[in-house]
Amino acid sequence: MKPAPIVFLDFDGVTHPELCRTDQLFTCLPLIESVLRCHAPAEVVISSSWREHHPFKELREFFSEDIAPRMVGCTPVVHHHPDLPASAGLREIECRTWLAANRPDQPWIAIDDVPWLFSPGCPNLLLTHHRVGFAPANAAHFHSILERLSS
C-alpha cells in the first residue's frame, strides 16, 4: 500500500485571490476541501507565508472540522539548504526539508500560485492563478494527481 500523499498548501493566490478583501479570504478553500474529502488519506502541510505570522493552531482553525485533523504541520522557514539543488526555488526547498525531516518516502504535491518558488518544470507543483485562486479546473487536476499518487 502506498503512503498517503502530502499536500503542501499556500494561502494567498490559492485559498483565495491574492490581495483580496478580508471578506474574500478562504473563499476557495471549500473547493480544495471537497477534493481532499475524496482522498481521505492525504494530509496537508501549510507552506504559506502565513505560517510566519500565525501559530499552527490558528491556521488549522480556517479549515472545516473534518479536514482540520489532517493538517499535520507547517514547512520550516528556510533560506538555503546545502543538500538541495540550487535550481530549486525557496518554497520547494522548504517542502523538501519538511519531507526529509518528517515523511521522507511520501509522495507530495504543492498547490501554489508562484512558479519561481519551485524549480523550473517542478512535477510536484499544481499552479493556480494569483488573481483567481483555486478554481474548478484546478480541482479536477488536483483530484487526478491525488488519484495517481494514491494508486
Check residue 27 and give its pLDDT: 97
Does residue 1 register a pLDDT over 80? no
Environment class of residue 129 by beta-carbon count within 10 Å: exposed (0-12), middle (13-18) or buried (19+)?
Answer: middle
The pTM of this model reads 0.94
Sheet order of strands, 125-127 included: 71-74, 43-46, 6-9, 108-112, 125-127
Q: How far apart are alpha carbons 45 and 79 in whole angstroms? A: 18
Cell numbers for 35: 477534493
Range 129-143 average pLDDT: 97
pLDDT tens digits along 2-49: 889 999 999 999 999 999 999 999 999 999 999 999 999 999 999 999
Backbone φ, ψ for residue 7 (5° rounding): -110, 115
Domain ranges of the chain: 75-150
The yes-or-no verdict on residue 79 having pLDDT over 80 is: no
Region 66-72: mean pLDDT is: 97
